[in-house]
């Protein structure tokens, strides 16, 4: 587990304009990080479109999608990756799912020497980041 894993946040929600399109994107983009669709809360009475979708890992949903008349455009969500390779796989999967590159995988020394991250704009302009803050590779050549 990352030494930066401590958080006071239990879960977060993202408002999306098309929950089915967003579901497909997030399922593909988050899979390399071990984050999967865990819950679908239906409308009452049930319809073809779910009311809320919960993504998570280790038995707990923590990222919720819901339909919103005004989506969460401009939100920035950083998700923990355990390795640089997970960051790379997240970036590739998110682009393949239709996301737009907002920062290729790489070290971001302005944050600290081990901040390895990638950024992708998902549906409705949400800036998704996968970040590994552990020294998982040999030192860079001089």
- The 10s digit of each residue's pLDDT in 73-85 is 889 999 999 999 9
Angle among Cα 3, 80, 42 to the nearest 5 degrees reads 135
In the chain, the percentage of residues whose pLDDT exceeds 70 is: 86
Question: DSSP class of residue 134?
Answer: S
For residue 46, pLDDT beyond 80: no
- Residue 79 sits at the vertex; the CA angle it makes with 126 and 53, to the nearest 5 degrees, is 60
pTM: 0.85
Q: Which two tokens stand for residue 101?
A: 């590159």
Cβ–Cβ < 8 Å for 62, 12: yes
> What domains, with CATH codes, occur in the chain?
12-132 (3.10.180.10)
For residues 79-93, average pLDDT: 97
Res. 2 pLDDT band, cuts 50 70 90: very low
């Amino acid at each position: 587990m990352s030494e930066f894993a401590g958080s006071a946040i239990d879960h977060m929600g993202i408002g999306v304009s098309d929950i089915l399109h967003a579901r497909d994107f997030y399922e593909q983009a988050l899979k390399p990080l071990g984050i999967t669709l865990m819950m679908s809360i239906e409308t009452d009475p049930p319809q073809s479109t779910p009311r809320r979708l919960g993504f998570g890992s280790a038995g707990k949903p923590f990222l919720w999608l819901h339909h919103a008349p005004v989506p969460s455009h401009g939100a920035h969500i950083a998700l923990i990756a355990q390795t640089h390779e997970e960051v790379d796989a997240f970036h590739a999967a998110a682009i393949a799912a239709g996301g737009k590159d907002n920062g290729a995988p790489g070290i971001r020394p302005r944050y600290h020497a081990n901040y390895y991250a990638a950024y992708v704009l998902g549906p409705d302009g949400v800036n998704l980041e996968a970040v590994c803050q552990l020294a998982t590779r040999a030192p860079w050549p001089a």
